[in-house]
Amino acid sequence: MSLWDWIARRTNSEPCRASELLRALPAERHPAIPTHPKGHGFSELQPLGGARYGGFIEPRDFSPEQWHPFLRYLRDRIPDVAAGVWAWVRLCSTRRIEELVGGTELERERARGVLEDLQERLLEGSFDHRPGFEGILEQFFQSAFTVGAYAGELVAREDRSGLARFHPVDPATIRFKRYPSSGRLTPYQLRQDGTLVALHEPSFFYFGLDTDAGNPYGRSPLASLPFVIRLQTQLFEDMGKAAHNAGYPTLHVKYHAPEREPGESLADYQNRVQSDFESISTAMKTRSPESNFLTQHNIEIEYVGPSGQMLRWRETLETISEQVVAALHLAPFLIGRNYGTTQSWARAQYDLMVNNAASVQRAAARMVDWIANLELALSGSPVRMRCRFAPHTSWNDVDEARAQSLRLATLLKLRDNGLIAEDQILARLEE
C-alpha cells in the first residue's frame, strides 16, 4: 500500500469512539485546577537536621556567621573587589522618585509630612543628617552586593501610632523553616546561645539575591572569589619581592687567587689567599652605597642579571582580574580596565549593567513602599506611596534625543490613524 492510499483510507475512515466522547462533553465543562498539588513539591528537599516535616533549610554557605565577615573583609581590603562593589552600589543609587496616590490634596500633603517625620527617626544614627530611606538603601545595596542578602525589622511605637525605627538585622543569623506540604517559609533568627527564635513576619523584611527554590537565602556575587583572590594576593606579594630585588642590582665579585711567590710555603700561600678573600668580603659588606671599590687586577666586579624568558606579570594579572570581573558581573571599565576599543562594545556592556542594576532597584523600591505604606496605614492616612528609581542616564544624549523624537512621531502617527488612544501616548513614553 502506498503512502497516499494509506492517508486516503485514514481520512475517509469513520471517527473513533474517543473523539465522539470528546465532542459529547458539555461545553461548560472544563478541567478544574486542583486545590492540592499533585507533585511532591519541596518535600524532596533535605532540611537541616534531617527532619522531613517542618525542618530548617540549611544555608548553602558554610557557617554564614564566619563566611559573611570574610566577604566583608574582601570588600574592604582587595582593590578589585572594593571597586566592583563600590561601582554596583553607586550604579544603583540613582535619584529616588516618590509618588503619593489616593486621597485628597490635603491628605496627600499631610501624608508627605508624616513620611518626612518618619525619615528623621527611622535610623538610629541621625548624626550624619541623612534621610532615613537614603541610609537604608545604601545599606541595602552594600549588603546585597557583598553577602547577597539584606534583612531588617520594623519597630513600632508604644501606642502603635506609627513606626519608631528600622532595625537592620545581620542576614547571617537568619534561618528559614519550610513546610513541605505547603512550601511556606517562616523566618527564624539564630541567637548566640544556639536557639532559634521565630520572627514576626509582618514586621520583618528579607531580600536574597539570586534566590531559587532550594536556596531562599540568596547568593553572594563574591562567593566564587576566594580562590582567585588568594592567587592574586600571592602574585602581588611575589611581584613586590621580585620588583624589590630588581631595584637593587646584585654585584658578583670574582676573585682570582694570585700566583705563589718563590720560596713561599704552601701554608703561608693558603693563609694569604684566605686573608685577601676575607678582606674583600668584609669590604663589600661594609661599603656605603656612594663609596668606590679599589681592587687589584685579579678581582672582577660585574652585575648579575637573569637569563632566559621572565614571567610576564601584566598578562598574569590581567587573567586573574578578568576572573574577578566575571565573578562580580561587572563590565571591565567599571574597575579601570578596558579591553575593547569600539563604542558599541562598551555600550552593550553599559546597557547590560543598567538592566542588572534596575532589577535590584525594584527590590529596594518594594522595601521603601512597604515601610512608607505601613507608616501611613498606622497613622490612619488613606494615601499610599509608590517609590521608583529614576532611569540611568543614556550613553549618548544626542542618540537618545533622536530615538525619543522618532518614538513620539510614531505614537502620534498611530493616534492619527486611530490605532491607539490619546491617553496611551504618555504611558507608552514612560515605558
Q: What SS3 string covers the chain?
A: CCHHHHHHHHHHCCCCHHHHHHHCCCCCCCCCCCCCCCCCHHHHCCCECCCCCCEEECCCCCCHHHHHHHHHHHHHHCHHHHHHHHHHHHHHCCCEEEEEECCCHHHHHHHHHHHHHHHHHCCCCCCCCCCHHHHHHHHHHHHHCCCCEEEEEEEECCCCCCEEEEEEECHHHEEEEECCCCCCEEEEEECCCCCEEECCHHHEEEEECCCECCECCCCCCCCCCHHHHHHHHHHHHHHHHHHHHHHCCEEEEEECCCCCCCCCCHHHHHHHHHHHHHHHHHHHHHCCCCCCCCCCCCEEEEEECCCCCCCCHHHHHHHHHHHHHHHCCCCHHHHCCCCCCCHHHHHHHHHHHHHHHHHHHHHHHHHHHHHHHHHHHHCCCCCEEEEEECCCCCCCHHHHHHHHHHHHHHHHHHHHCCCCCCCHHHHHHHC
CB 118 within 8 A of CB 403: no
* Residue 25: per-residue pLDDT: 43
Residues in contact with 45: Cβ distance below 8 Å, sequence separation at least 6, in sequence order: 57, 178, 180, 213, 214
* Residue 370: per-residue pLDDT: 92
Residue pLDDT, tens place only, 39-87:
544 444 444 444 444 578 888 777 888 888 888 888 888 777 888 888 8
pTM, rounded to two decimals: 0.64
* Residue 140: per-residue pLDDT: 93
Residue numbers in the chain where pLDDT is lower than 70: 1-54, 125-130, 180, 227, 229, 231-232, 235-236, 238-249, 305-346, 348, 394-399, 430-431
* Residue 50: per-residue pLDDT: 41
* Residue 7: per-residue pLDDT: 42
* Residue 27: per-residue pLDDT: 47
* Residue 4: per-residue pLDDT: 46
User: Where do the domains of the chain lie?
Assistant: 42-222+364-378, 226-256+298-303+312-327, 396-431
* Residue 48: per-residue pLDDT: 46
